[in-house]
Amino acid sequence: MKKSQNLMCKHNDFSFFHKSTVNSNYISHYCCFKGGWMGMTGICHVSDAVVKVFEERMQKVLALIAEYNIEYEEIGVFGSYARGDYKITSDIDFCIITENRPGRRVSGSLREDAELERADIIYVTRDYFNSNPSVFAENLRKDYKRLL
């Protein structure tokens, strides 16, 4: 049994016309913001315009990190953006590998500014990144893509 519905959505100051089709096995979702299908996997094949938006957001956050004079060994991304299965509503997860975590005032202010770009920032030590056995650390290592 198929049922269609049309929705008008707003994400990150972009208006989209969505059409969802529901049947007994899955929900397929079409977004006409330059096109993209989400099917059984739930992964939206992002358009060039969405890629550009994410690249701009990423560059703005890297500029913020520089502005706050954060000392780091390495900066990378992880999560859906790093895996390439992000969609327009996704955030960008940054990982800053550092020997010394910045003070709460600096790290908190940077996080607040990064949230305006729909980004999240975590700080980890090299030791944590390389050898922590937690599920989170394992996923971080698996997804991680180095930027700087």
Among the residues of the chain, which ranges form H helices? 48-67, 80-83, 104-115, 126-131, 135-143
The domain made up of 48-146 has a fold known as Beta Polymerase; domain 2 (3.30.460)
Mean pLDDT of the chain: 76
Please tell me whether the overall predicted TM-score, pTM, comes out greater than 0.85 for this model: no
pLDDT digits (tens, 9 = 90+) for 80-128: 999 999 988 999 999 999 998 777 777 889 999 999 999 999 999 999 9
pLDDT interval class at 67 (50, 70, 90): very high
> What pLDDT score does 46 carry?
67
Enter the tokens of residue 122: 């975590």
What is the residue extent of each domain of the chain? 3-38, 48-146
Q: Which of 57, 60, 129, 132 lies closest to 89, judged by CA?
A: 57
* Mean pLDDT of the region 117-146: 96
Q: Which residues, listed in sequence order, are joined to residue 8 by a DSSP beta bridge?
A: 17
Distance CA 94, CA 120 (A): 6
Enter the tokens of residue 84: 């390439």
Q: What are phi and psi of 73, to 5 degrees?
A: -90, -35
